[in-house]
Amino acid sequence: FTEMPTDNFVESSFWNFDALFQPQQHPARDQHDTFFLRDPAEAPELPTNYMTRVKKVHSQGGYGSQGYKYEWKVEEARKNLLRTHTTSASARALYHLACQGKFTPVKYFSIDRVFRNESLDATHLAEFHQVEGVVADRGLTLGHLMGTLQQFFTKLGISKLRFKPAYNPYTEPSMEIFSYHEGLKKWVEVGNSGVFRP
Amino acid sequence: MPTVSVQRDLLFQALGRSYTDEEFNDLCFEFGLELDEVTSEKDIISKEKGEGRAEGASETVLYKIDVPANRYDLLCLEGLVRGLQVFKERINLPRYEKIIPAKDEGQKLIITEETVKIRPHAVAAVLRNITFTKERYDSFIDLQEKLHQNICRRRALVAIGTHDLDTISGPFTFTAKTPAEIKFKPLNQSQEYTASQIMDLYRTDSHLRQYLHLIEDKPRYPVIFDSNGVVLSMPPIINGDHSKISLKTRNVFIECTGTDMTKAKIVLDIIVAMFSEYCEKQFTVEAVEVVCPNGKTHIYPELAYRKDKVKPELINKKLGISETPSNLAKLLTRMCLSSHVTGNGNNIEIEIPPTRADVIHACDIVEDAAIAYGYNNIQMVIPKTYTIANQLPLNKLTELLRLDLAAAGFTEALTFALCSTEDIADKLGMDISATNAVHIANPKTAEFQVARTTLLPGLLKTVAANRKMPLPLKLFEISDIVVKDPTKDVGARNYRHLCALYYNKSPGFEIIHGLLDRVMQLLEVPPNKENGYTIKATEGSAFFPGRCAEIFARGQSVGKLGVLHPDVITKFELTMPCSALEINIEPFM
CA proximity to B126, closest of B252, B291, B282, B269 = B252
Domain total of chain B:
4
In a domain, B245, yes or no: yes
Q: Give residue-wise pLDDT tens across range B500-549.
A: 999 999 988 999 999 999 999 999 999 888 888 888 998 888 899 989 99
Full domain range(s) for residue B169: 97-300
Q: Summarize pLDDT for B16-29 with one digit per residue, the tens.
A: 888 888 889 888 88
pLDDT tens by residue, A13-42: 999 999 999 888 877 676 568 899 998 888
A64 CA to centre of own chain: 21
Residues B183, B324, single domain; the answer is no
Question: In chain B, what residues touch A76 (CB-CB under 8 Å)?
Answer: none
| HEC per residue, B234-254 | ECCCEEECCCCCCCCCCCEEE
Rg (CA), chain A: 17
Which chain A positions have a beta carbon within 8 Å of B31's beta carbon?
A: 165
Tell me, yes or no, whether B71 and B107 share the same domain.
Answer: no
What amino acid occupies position B511?
I
Is B204 part of any domain?
yes
Residue B380 lies in a domain: no
Sign of CA dihedral B533, B536, B541, B547: positive
User: How far is CA B110 from each of CA B215, B288, B299, B355, rounded to the nearest angstrom?
Assistant: 21, 10, 12, 26
Q: Which member of B321, B360, B441 has the closest CB to residue A37?
A: B441
**What CATH number is attached to the domain comprising B271?**
3.50.40.10
Q: How far is CA B323 from CA A145, B331, B356, B375, in A?
A: 19, 10, 24, 14
Provide the H-helix boundaries in B276-361: 312-319, 325-334
Residues B292 and B311 in one domain: no
- For B35-78, write each residue's pLDDT tens digit: 888 888 888 777 777 777 667 777 788 889 988 888 888 999 99
Nearest in space to A118 (alpha carbons), one of B445, B146, B34, B206: B445
**Does residue B251 carry a pLDDT above 90?**
yes
Asked, as a colleague might, if the bond just before B171 is cis with ω within 30 of 0, I would say yes
The pLDDT score that the predictor gives to residue B48 is 77
The pLDDT value given to residue B121: 92
Same domain, B335 and B419: no
| B318: nearest Cα among B360, B378, B264, B266 | B378
pLDDT at B132: 92
CA–CA dist B372, B350 (Å, integer): 15
Q: Do A39 and B379 touch (CB under 8 A)?
A: no
Inter-chain touch A3–B391, beta carbons under 8 Å: yes
> Radius of gyration over alpha carbons of chain B, in Å?
33
Q: What average pLDDT does the structure give for chain B?
A: 89
For chain A, give the number of residues: 198
Q: Sorting pLDDT into bands at 50, 70 and 90, what band is B254?
A: very high
Contact B420, B460 (CB under 8 A): no
Q: Of B396, B392, B398, B401, which is closest to residue B520 (Cα–Cα)?
A: B401
Distance CA B353, CA B70 (A): 15
Nearest chain B residue to A22 by CA distance is B70
Instruction: For residues B96-110, give the mean pLDDT.
Output: 87
Q: How far apart are the first and last CA of chain A?
A: 22
- Which domain CATH number covers B355? 3.30.56.10
Complex prediction ipTM: 0.89
Q: In percent, how much of chain B has pLDDT > 70?
A: 100
Burial of A81 (0-12, 13-18, 19+ CB in 10 A): buried
- Is A142–B438 a contact, with Cβ atoms under 8 angstroms apart? no
- SS3 per-residue string spanning chain A: CEECCCCCCEEEHHHHCHHHCCCCCCHHHCCCCCCEEEECCECCCCCHHHHHHHHHHHHCCECCECCCCCCCCHHHHHEEEECCCCHHHHHHHHHHHHHCCCCCCEEEEEEEEEECCCCCECCECCEEEEEEEEEECCCCCHHHHHHHHHHHHHHCCCCCEEEEEEEECCEEEEEEEEEEECCCCEEEEEEEEEEECC
- What is the DSSP code (8-state) at residue B161? E
- In single-letter form, the type of residue at position B580 comes to A
A81–chain B nearest CA distance, Å: 8
What domains lie within chain A, and their CATH numbers? 2-138 (3.30.930.10), 142-197 (no CATH)
Kindly report the nearest CA distance between residue A61 and chain B, in angstroms.
9
Last residue of a domain, one of B266, B300, B334: B300
Question: Which string of b and e fits B218-250 if b means at least 16 CB within 10 Å?
Answer: eebbbbbbbeeebbbbbbbbbbbbbbbbeeebe
For an interface test with A, which of B480, B490, B495, B584 has the most A Cβ atoms less than 10 Å from its Cβ? Answer: B490
How close, in Å, is residue A63 to chain B by CA atoms?
9
Residue numbers in A near B372 (CB within 8 A): none
pLDDT at B49: 76
Residues B432-436 have a mean pLDDT of 86
Distance from C-alpha of B65 to C-alpha of B194, rounded to nearest angstrom: 41
Q: Any idea which of A27-41, A140-154, B292-306 has the lowest mean pLDDT?
A: A27-41
Helices B325-334 and B362-373, axial angle in degrees (round to 10):
90
The pLDDT tens digits for B320-379 are 888 888 899 999 999 989 888 888 878 889 999 999 988 888 889 999 999 999 888 998
pLDDT the model gives residue A150 = 92
Contact A195 B318 (CB under 8 A): yes
Compute the nearest-CA separation of B456 from chain A (Å): 18
pLDDT at B288: 92
**Binning pLDDT at 50, 70 and 90, where does residue B385 land?**
confident
Quick one: B411 and B521 in the same domain? yes
* Residues B42-54 as b or e (16 or more Cβ within 10 Å = b): bbbbbeeeeeeeb
Residue at which a domain ends, from B61, B88, B115: B88
Let me know if residue B124 belongs to a domain: yes
Q: Does B432 lie in the same domain as B519?
A: yes
Angle at B77 (CA atoms; ends B11, A194), nearest 5 degrees: 105
DSSP strands (E only) in B413-472: 418-419, 439-440, 450-451
Mark B402-436 as b/e (b = at least 16 C-beta within 10 Å).
beebeebebeebebbbbbbeebbbebbebebeebe
Closest CA to B372 of B330, B431, B435: B330
Residues B423 and B559 in one domain: yes
- In the DSSP assignment, the letter for residue B186 is B
At A197, which amino acid appears? Answer: R
Lateral strand order in the sheet of A2-3: A2-3, A106-115, A127-136
Q: Are residues B328 and B455 in the same domain?
A: no
Asked if the Cβ–Cβ distance from B363 to A197 is below 8 Å, we say yes
- On whether residue B384 sits in a domain, the answer given is no
A172 vs B: CB within 8 A = yes
Same domain, B251 and B363: no
Quick one: pLDDT at residue B59?
78
pLDDT (0 to 100) of residue B548: 93
Q: For residue range B445-499, what is the model confidence (pLDDT) as tens digits?
A: 888 899 999 999 999 999 999 988 998 999 999 999 999 998 989 999 999 999 9
Q: Are residues B148 and B280 in the same domain?
A: yes
* Phi and psi torsions of B259, nearest 5°: -105, -5
Residue B410: predicted pLDDT: 95
Q: Are B254 and B286 in contact (CB under 8 A)?
A: no
Is the CB of residue A98 less than 8 Å away from at least one CB of chain B? no
User: Is B315 part of any domain?
Assistant: yes
Give the amino acid at B547: R
Query: What is the residue-averaged pLDDT of chain A?
Result: 89
Q: Is the pLDDT of residue A130 over 70?
A: yes
In a domain, B387, yes or no: no
Whether the Cβ atoms of residue A16 and residue A85 lie closer than 8 Å to each other: yes
* Distance separating alpha carbons of residues B400 and B398, to the nearest angstrom: 5
Of the partner residues B153, B260, B375, the one whose CB lies closest to the CB of residue A163: B375
Asked, for residue B383, whether it belongs to a domain, the answer is no
Look at residue B154 and give its three-state secondary structure. coil
Are residue B119 and residue B238 in the same domain, yes or no? yes
Q: Whole-model pTM?
A: 0.86
> If you measure CA to CA, which chain A residue comes closest to B487?
A44
Average of pLDDT values for B421-440?
88
Rounded-to-integer distance, Cα B485 and Cα A43, Å: 11
**β-bridge mates for residue A177, sequence order:** A163, A191
Q: What is the pLDDT at residue B448?
A: 87
Q: Are residues B447 and B565 in the same domain?
A: yes
Q: List the one residue out of B241, B80, B268, B81 whose CA is nearest residue B158.
A: B268
Q: Does A165 touch chain B (CB under 8 A)?
A: yes
Domain stops at, among B38, B63, B88: B88
